[in-house]
Amino acid sequence: MLLKNFLPKKQVKSVLNIDPKVLKEHGIKAIITDLDNTLVEWDRPSAPPKLIQWFQNMKKHDIKVTIVSNNSETRVKTFADPLGIPFLYKARKPLGRAFRQALEMMNVKKEETVVIGDQLLTDVFGGNRSGFYTILVVPVAQSDGFVTKFNRKLERQMMGWFKKKGYLTWED
Ligand SMILES: [Mg+2]
């Protein structure tokens, strides 16, 4: 069924609820994460203390993280550089190229990697079609950039359908 390509494997309210120990139990060694409205609000330039801790906790447990964003170099670099987190910008998700590049950068296999994001059309669909385990998070902010606003409408319709079918249940 076509719509299932947009269905995440798991849903959580925040990336902060993603625990490196649980990932490791499932053989996960790496994270490919979206930036805007997944890690922080799309218009927030840098990471708040809790998120910095989350990155440190991942590092402590040997979980590698790469930020893969469709946004501009300036936006992604400004956020990621102070954290020392590798990143790819203008990734053109849902296309698979940036995901493959991130795997190469981290030297891991896709079976060992989760894709995290707040959008069904780019993050989840992109991750699914490239064969990753996908985790959807609730968008950090309700507002969006221009292109995303357009996608959100379609997304809301799909979400409604998934909920009706009982496919979508938010976990803490
Ligand atoms: Mg996003």
Tens of pLDDT, residue by residue over 20-72, are: 999 999 999 999 999 999 999 988 999 999 999 999 999 999 999 999 999 99
Between residues 137 and 158, the one the model is more confident about: 137
CA 40 to ligand 1 centroid distance, Å: 9
- The total of other beta-carbon atoms located within 10 Å of residue 166's CB is 7
Q: Is residue 171 predicted with pLDDT exceeding 70?
A: no
CA 171 to ligand 1 centroid distance, Å: 19
- The total of other beta-carbon atoms located within 10 Å of residue 143's CB is 11
Residue 121 φ/ψ, nearest 5 degrees = -75, -30
CA 152 to ligand 1 centroid distance, Å: 11
Q: Does domain 2-165 have CATH number 3.40.50.1000?
A: yes
CA 118 to ligand 1 centroid distance, Å: 5
In this prediction, residues 77-94 reach a mean pLDDT of 97
Strands 10-12 and 87-88: unpaired
DSSP 71-140: S-HHHHHHHHGGGT--EE-S--TTSSHHHHHHHHHHT--GGGEEEEES-IIIIIHHHHHTT-EEEEE--S
CA 117 to ligand 1 centroid distance, Å: 6
> Where residue 144 falls among pLDDT bands split at 50, 70, 90?
low
CA 148 to ligand 1 centroid distance, Å: 8
pLDDT at 172: 52
Between residues 166 and 105, the one the model is more confident about: 105
CA 113 to ligand 1 centroid distance, Å: 18
CA 39 to ligand 1 centroid distance, Å: 8
CA 37 to ligand 1 centroid distance, Å: 5
CB of 89 within 8 A of CB of 73? yes
CA 138 to ligand 1 centroid distance, Å: 10
